[in-house]
Amino acid sequence: MAESKPPGPLSAKLFKAIQHVETGRQKNPSTVEGGRDGLCYGPYQIREEYWKDACEQDPTLMEGGKTWKNCLGEGSFLYSEKLMQAYVSRYATKEKLLRKPTNEDLARIHKGGPNGHKSALSARYWLLVSEQLK
C-alpha cells in the first residue's frame, strides 16, 4: 500500500480495512480482477463506472492518459485510493447526508454507490469492514 494516503475523507486505516475485505487474501492484490463478471480491478475492486464517476469529480485522474486499467498493477494502490477519495468526496458529504459522514457511510458508499449508505446490500459489507477496523 502507498506510504501516505491521498487527501480526502478516507483514512489510511479505513483504506487498509476495505482492501482487506476486497482482496486481503490475495497474494498480490494489485493484480486482482474480480467481481461476479471479472470486471472489478485491483486492490479495492474498482469498476469502470466507478472510475468514470470519480473522474467526473476530479478530472485530473485522467491526466497522462490514465484509464480504468490503471487500477491494476504497479501503482494501482495509490491511483485507486485517489479515485476512492474523489468518489466518496462526491457522495459522502454533509450536505447530502445531513450530518458528518462516518467511516460506515464512506465504506458503504464505496461498495454500494451514491446511495450505498442506505442500501441493505452494503450493510453486510460494513460489518466485514468494521471487523477489520477493530
Over the chain (134 residues), the average pLDDT of each successive run of 10 is 72 96 93 90 96 97 96 95 97 96 98 94 96 96
Which residues have a Cβ under 8 Å from the Cβ of 125 and sit 6 or more positions away? 21, 107, 108, 111, 112
Supply φ then ψ for residue 93, to 5 degrees.
-115, 155
Residue 6 placed within a domain = no
Q: Which domain holds residue 82?
A: 12-133
Predicted local distance difference test score (pLDDT) of residue 117: 95
Residue 2 placed within a domain = no
Q: How many domains does the chain have?
A: 1
Q: For residue 15, give Cα distances in angstroms to 8, 20, 95, 118.
A: 11, 9, 23, 21
Residue 82 placed within a domain = yes
Taking alpha carbons only, the member of 66, 65, 80, 81 closest to residue 9 is 81
Predicted local distance difference test score (pLDDT) of residue 2: 42
Predicted local distance difference test score (pLDDT) of residue 4: 67
Residue 74 placed within a domain = yes
Q: Structure pTM?
A: 0.93
Question: The domain that contains 48 carries what CATH number?
Answer: 1.10.530.10
